[in-house]
Chains A and B, each alone.
Chain A
Amino acid sequence: MKADYYSDLALGYIQGSLTPQEKQEVFQLIMEAPDFCEILLLELELSRTLTECKTAPPKKTAANVYFRVLASAAAQPSAKLAESFLTPIFRASLPNLVTWMIFNYQRRVFVDAR
């Protein structure tokens, strides 16, 4: 759809994310295509108005959240710490443990079979 393509081009132009070729195309369309100019003006208006939606948090919120995050992180052992502590233990002990369990299971099965 031409309108969709024009919308993307107009938005890209406003946001400054176009390649030099695309920018060239925009300049050409501004000269030649009134329907593109209309979309560009509306996209500019939409962009300007929506950017005003951006709000900063109150300072109290910023400080509260920061301290609560750090407190939560300190209160619970992090997954990374648990992993670095437990993984070597499991790696070292699990194969032996599983071998021992299989050995005992086989012994029991063979005893029962007799």
Chain B
Amino acid sequence: MMSFDEIYEAYLDTVYSFLKFKLNDESLIEEILQETFLAVYRGLDRLADVKSIKAWILTIAHHKMVDQLRSVKFDEVELDQNMLVEDFSTDLTLKEALNQLDPTASTIIYGLYVEQLTYQELAEIIGIPVGTVKSRAYTARAKLRDWFKGGVKHESRLL
């Protein structure tokens, strides 16, 4: 079984990258990271029952992020405008596309492509049915593909 230090070493980048993808505020990210890994530390005895450590930790991180955002009373509109990443230095055009996806769809896309999670794992992380994850993924991917082809570049909202 992995020790806390090994888990921290192995999954810190994954959790940080996920939070950085979703949020803009570095101090908030640090706070959520701390709460997430504290929960991991306290839940080490449950590790034997966990199928995928990455999905388990990302589920905790997602819940902590939602709790934090609720506690500071950010509604969806404020979340979109103030908290989501605005500066995608890697690719400006990708930033435009991803910012037009709603938060759940962008989480699904991130999970599928960056962390290579399964639909089942994403359903557990976000807390929605697998079928919904699939349909949201198909819609978002189709829109992103269209967008890559240049079709819907200036549409106001992708989903």
Contacts and interface: CB of A to CB of B under 8 A. Distances in A.
A54 B98 CA distance: 14
Interface residues of A, number: 35
A106 B114 CA distance: 65
A68 B145 CA distance: 42
A65 interface: yes
A28 interface: no
A7 B13 contact: no
A70 B138 CA distance: 41
Given A61-B16, A73-B38, A73-B42, A52 B90 contact: yes
Interface in A34-62: 39, 42-43, 45-47, 49-57, 61-62
A79 interface: yes
Contacts of A114: none
Contact of B13 (A56, A66, A68): A56
A69 B141 CA distance: 37
A1 interface: yes
Nearest to A79: B42
Nearest to A67: B34
A21 interface: no
A46 B145 contact: yes
A65 B15 CA distance: 12
Interface string A1-37: 1011001000100010100000000000000000000
B94 A49 contact: yes
B110 interface: yes
A65 to B, nearest CB: 5
A92 to B, nearest CB: 23
Interface of A: 1, 3-4, 7, 11, 15, 17, 39, 42-43, 45-47, 49-57, 61-62, 64-66, 68-70, 72-73, 78-80
Interface in B3-34: 8, 12-13, 16-17, 20-21, 26, 29-30, 33-34
B91 interface: yes
Interface string B112-137: 11101000000000000000001000
A74 B85 CA distance: 34
Contacts of B134: 4
A69 B91 contact: no
A7 B141 contact: yes
A15 B17 contact: no
Contact of B16 (A17, A57, A69): A57
